[in-house]
Amino acid sequence: MASLNLLIGVCLVYVAVLFAVAFAAERLAVRGNSHWLGSPLIYTLSLSIYCTAWTFYGAVGYAARSGLEYLTIYIGPSLVMVGWLWGVRKMVRIGRSQRITSIADLLSSRYGKSNLLAIFVTVLAVIGTTPYIALQLQSVTLSFAAFAATDPSVAMPDDSNLTALWVAAGLAFFTVLFGTRNLDANERHHGVVTAIALEAVVKLVALLAVGIFVVWGVGGGVAETMARIDASSLGHWEMASGRWSGLIFLSAAAFLCLPRMFQVLVVENDDESHLRTAVWAFPGYLMLMSLFVMPIAVTGLAMLPEGSNPDLFVLTVPLAEGRTGLAMLSFLGGFSSATSMVIVASIALSTMVSNHVVMPIWLRINGTGAMVSGDVRHVVMLARRLSIVGVLLLGYLYYRVSGGGTALAAIGLISFSGVAQILPALLGGLFWRGATRLGALCGLAVGFALWLWCLFLPSFGADVIVPARVLAEGPFGLAGLRPQALFGIEGIDPLVHGVLWSMLFNACTFFAVSTFTFPSPMERLQGAQFVNVFAHSNTPRGWQGGVAQSEDLMIMSQRILGAGQAQALFRNAAQQQGLPGYLPEPTAEFLQLLEREMSGSVGAATAHAMVSQIVGGASVSVEDLMAVADETAQMMEYSSQLEAKSDELIRTARQLRAANEKLTQLSVQKDAFLSQISHELRTPMTSIRAFSEILRDTDGLTVEERGRYSSIIHDEAIRLTRLLDDLLDLSVLENGQVSLNIRQGRLDEVLDRAVAAVLQGGGIALRRDRAAEAILLETDIDRLSQVFINLIANARKYCDAAQPSLTIAVRQRDRVVTVDFIDNGSGIASDAQEVIFEKFSRIGEGKAGGAGLGLAICREIMTRLYGTVAYLPGQGGAAFRVTLPARALMAAQ
């Protein structure tokens, strides 16, 4: 016979193996070798936490009591998974794209990140799961007792409560150790999931082993077993049709709403494509789990004495046959079922409690909230650990209060119907944009209240919480409010009755209130996001960035995400914005990203609240809504802004290029000018030096020679002086420092003076029209005559005709006077015409050796006098036109 000590030893070894597996898996995941861990097989096996001790022990008991009805519990989830395209896929996609951490988080996110709703769902989930955890405690306690009964050496303590307490404490310790190793729920508990997958294999193998033993070892084959089933008290189809269909619906609903199922189905999902395997493999798993239940139940009923607990047939049938090894395996299977359920359920619940209840309260108590120094992560961790202990304690209390004698399946169904109250709000949120927060709250409240009254409170048994009189006659004698016969309608199965009324009123309230209330902008945004998750998987802009201090955000997120991860996040964001260092601009996109990262640690509502404490509130304006609704318009606006900006840039660049060209030209001109100047100065200086050296060093020079050399030196000195004078003159003119001596004078007199100055010795024939020249001027007469002198001197110097002549033609038209100087030479080549007014430009080898500054000076003078001087082509020789403005004319003429 098996000793109890051996059993406990095996249990501890098994737990140690599980822990080692979980530890190794986490190590592998950290090293990045998680491709095997993240395989669809592991995902499917982890879904099998649906099969708890209820399935392992309870299903046989259920079958022994009610025949094939136990199958409804597995048909419902199978259909849900087979129909994954309807809802499961959408839930997983939303969970991944919104970084959802729990079912409460999903509803809170969907309904405008409402924390009130999250708290409500959390409370509902905790209360709904409590009987379920009690069920696990009860099953493990019972299985210990069953083993102890066969071990004469150990006297099992009469008080099974003590065993249950030890089991609860052990499970709490185990879960805390397993489940709160890392904070970000979206980092996924690789270790836990792998351990659960192993447990899934153990419980399947154990149940199959017992089943095969019963069918082929005891029963003698399939046909004989079937015949025995037909011959037993369960041999004919006896089914309350309401229960058959009602339980299929209930189990399908619970599969979607149970916090632990949501945890493994959505939160721990590594890859959406794993669903493809799970959709057939999970129903297959469920089918195998339920395959041998009926044979075991019938064999147990036939073999064991009347009054044995049918919930323990899986264990007691092998024990009765003396198969201790098989019984041990079976015990391990049941132990696996119970532990895996408790671990995942309490992880899921503790996440919900810490994110939606503890953190908001903590933030409120610590007034300044997110800005308090210290690591928030410790608070979150502590909250989760305490929540795990609390959840298990509640389960233990339920076990104590309910007396531990109820059928496992009955307890489980109470639990199912409790969490199924979430279904209307969940499906409404996923598929109906009109669902509102108030509608969800009211629906949940009504459904929850009815569930409490009709199912939960009576589940403890008469007179424990609800007095037997109230059960029979209704509160205050109101027969219409009897917990198991509302509105006086009797004869419905109590469970179907409770599920029917609670779900009906829940859904109707939800739809009615949703229809007649108006959602807030945030709700509408989130609603559109959730319902149309496949159309666009990005989030709307909720934050008005710019007010936030990046540094404050950094301090806060370091405490939630951990320093390394937060810094990496900020650095990446800064890099994407093209900024150096660790502090990105708090743009709407960045805040969105940050909020979503943090919601993986503390839940959407808390993350939202924390960011809003720093940013100063998220505002969703009508503009935001419109911007989201019409992203195309937004994009177009943005691109037109870009276009305008780029046009502006092109213009600026063009202006810069022009300025640059001008500067380059000026620089070239300056260089040319300097080299010209030095050349011009050098030539006369060379001859002055040479001739003065001759005068100094050569003896016996004749007076005539000395005179000639001296006059050369004198001429060159004069030429230098003239050059310097010209330069000075030009520089004065160019800098605008010249002071004009405006006075009246006659044009013909000015011309006379100029001609007299140049043509003293004749040399060129002059033609003038004195009548046209009789014009009175008011200008700088001396400067004007300087221009004329220059032009006449040029003509005398450069006119290459055999009999040179110069025509001076004066014309007055439209109060503008033009004076043309036209000679009969060969003129100036057209390519040279452009440059003759530039400094140092000379045409041909100058006979008189001018410096080439004359015309440049002329142009500057005329500019000062508000007139012009220009070359006049096509006159049969070189021709210059001087134009004098009207203001130079005497008005009184």
Partner 1 sequence: MAETKGTVFLERRSYRQRRLADLARALPVVGLLLMLIPLLWTQGAEDGTRTSRAIYWIFGVWAVLVCASGLLARGAERDEAAGPQPTRRESGGPPGRPGP
Positions that interact with partner 1 (CB under 8 A): 67-68, 71, 75, 78-87, 89-90, 226-227, 229-230, 233-239, 241, 244-245, 248, 273, 276-277, 279-281, 283-284, 287, 291, 294, 427, 430-434, 528, 531-535
Q: How far is residue 859's CA from residue 873's CA, in Å, rounded to a whole number?
A: 17
What tokens does 794 get?
């040029």
Instruction: Provide, rounded to whole angstroms, the least separation between the CB of residue 452 and partner 1.
Output: 28
Torsion of CA 306, 309, 314, 315, to 10 degrees: -100
In a 3-state reduction of DSSP, which class is residue 357?
A: helix
Residue that has been written with the tokens 């219409």 in this structure: 480
Residue that has been written with the tokens 């202006």 in this structure: 655
Q: Which is nearer to partner 1, 288 or 626 (CB)?
A: 288
Q: Which is nearer to partner 1, 244 or 840 (CB)?
A: 244
Q: How far is residue 101's CA from residue 356's CA, in Å, rounded to a whole number?
A: 11
Q: Which is nearer to partner 1, 285 or 398 (CB)?
A: 285
Q: Which is nearer to partner 1, 25 or 281 (CB)?
A: 281
Q: Which is nearer to partner 1, 3 or 66 (CB)?
A: 66
Q: Which is nearer to partner 1, 93 or 356 (CB)?
A: 93
CB atoms within 10 A of CB 742: 13
Q: What are phi and psi of 657, to 5 degrees?
A: -60, -45
Pairing label, strands 816-823, 776-780: unpaired
Instruction: Provide, rounded to whole angstroms, the least separation between the CB of residue 241 and partner 1.
Output: 5
Q: Which is nearer to partner 1, 93 or 323 (CB)?
A: 93
Torsion of CA 47, 48, 54, 59, to 10 degrees: 130
Instruction: Provide, rounded to whole angstroms, the least separation between the CB of residue 91 and partner 1.
Output: 13
Pairing label, strands 879-884, 742-746: unpaired
Q: Which is nearer to partner 1, 237 or 518 (CB)?
A: 237
Instruction: Provide, rounded to whole angstroms, the least separation between the CB of residue 406 and partner 1.
Output: 25
Q: How far is residue 229's CA from residue 142's CA, in Å, rounded to a whole number?
A: 26
771: which residues sit within 8 A by CB, 6+ positions away? none
Instruction: Provide, rounded to whole angstroms, the least separation between the CB of residue 507 and partner 1.
Output: 11
Cα atoms found within 13 Å of the Cα of residue 752, Cβ hemisphere only: 8
Among residues 632, 435, 609, which one has the least CA distance to residue 530?
435
Q: How far is residue 27's CA from residue 843's CA, in Å, rounded to a whole number?
A: 92
CB 288 within 8 A of CB 204: yes
Instruction: Provide, rounded to whole angstroms, the least separation between the CB of residue 76 and partner 1.
Output: 9
Instruction: Provide, rounded to whole angstroms, the least separation between the CB of residue 526 and partner 1.
Output: 13
Q: How far is residue 188's CA from residue 204's CA, in Å, rounded to a whole number?
A: 24
Q: Which is nearer to partner 1, 135 or 248 (CB)?
A: 248
Instruction: Provide, rounded to whole angstroms, the least separation between the CB of residue 221 and partner 1.
Output: 13
Instruction: Provide, rounded to whole angstroms, the least separation between the CB of residue 106 and partner 1.
Output: 16
Instruction: Provide, rounded to whole angstroms, the least separation between the CB of residue 1 and partner 1.
Output: 35
Q: Which is nearer to partner 1, 215 or 594 (CB)?
A: 215
Residue type, 152: P
CB 543 within 8 A of CB 588: yes
Instruction: Provide, rounded to whole angstroms, the least separation between the CB of residue 438 and partner 1.
Output: 17
Residue type, 508: C
Instruction: Provide, rounded to whole angstroms, the least separation between the CB of residue 425 and partner 1.
Output: 14
Instruction: Provide, rounded to whole angstroms, the least separation between the CB of residue 219 and partner 1.
Output: 13
Cα three-residue angle 478-479-485, rounded to 5 degrees: 135
Name beta bridge partners: 823.
806
Long-range contacts at 833-837 (CB < 8 A, ≥ 24 apart): 833/871, 833/873, 836/871, 837/869, 837/871
Residue type, 283: P
Instruction: Provide, rounded to whole angstroms, the least separation between the CB of residue 446 and partner 1.
Output: 20
Name beta bridge partners: 743.
779
**Cα four-point dihedral sign 264, 270, 271, 276:** negative
Helices (H), ranges, 371-462: 376-402, 408-419, 423-431, 437-451
Q: How far is residue 306's CA from residue 231's CA, in Å, rounded to a whole number?
A: 17
Instruction: Provide, rounded to whole angstroms, the least separation between the CB of residue 62 and partner 1.
Output: 14
Q: Which is nearer to partner 1, 233 or 721 (CB)?
A: 233
Query: Is residue 432 classed exposed, middle or buried when 0-12, 13-18 and 19+ CB atoms within 10 A define those classes?
Result: middle
Instruction: Provide, rounded to whole angstroms, the least separation between the CB of residue 96 and partner 1.
Output: 15
Q: Which is nearer to partner 1, 266 or 836 (CB)?
A: 266
Name beta bridge partners: 883.
818, 868
Q: Which is nearer to partner 1, 521 or 827 (CB)?
A: 521
Q: Which is nearer to partner 1, 396 or 510 (CB)?
A: 510
Q: How far is residue 741's CA from residue 318's CA, in Å, rounded to a whole number?
A: 134
Helices (H), ranges, 603-735: 604-615, 622-629, 631-697, 703-734
Instruction: Provide, rounded to whole angstroms, the least separation between the CB of residue 426 and partner 1.
Output: 12
In a 3-state reduction of DSSP, which class is residue 817?
A: strand
Q: How far is residue 630's CA from residue 650's CA, in Å, rounded to a whole number?
A: 31
Q: Which is nearer to partner 1, 487 or 516 (CB)?
A: 516
Q: Which is nearer to partner 1, 236 or 813 (CB)?
A: 236
Say which DSSP state 889 is in. Answer: B
Instruction: Provide, rounded to whole angstroms, the least separation between the CB of residue 270 and partner 1.
Output: 16
Q: For 729-804, list the strands marked E by DSSP.
A: 742-746, 765-768, 776-780
Cα atoms found within 13 Å of the Cα of residue 303, Cβ hemisphere only: 22
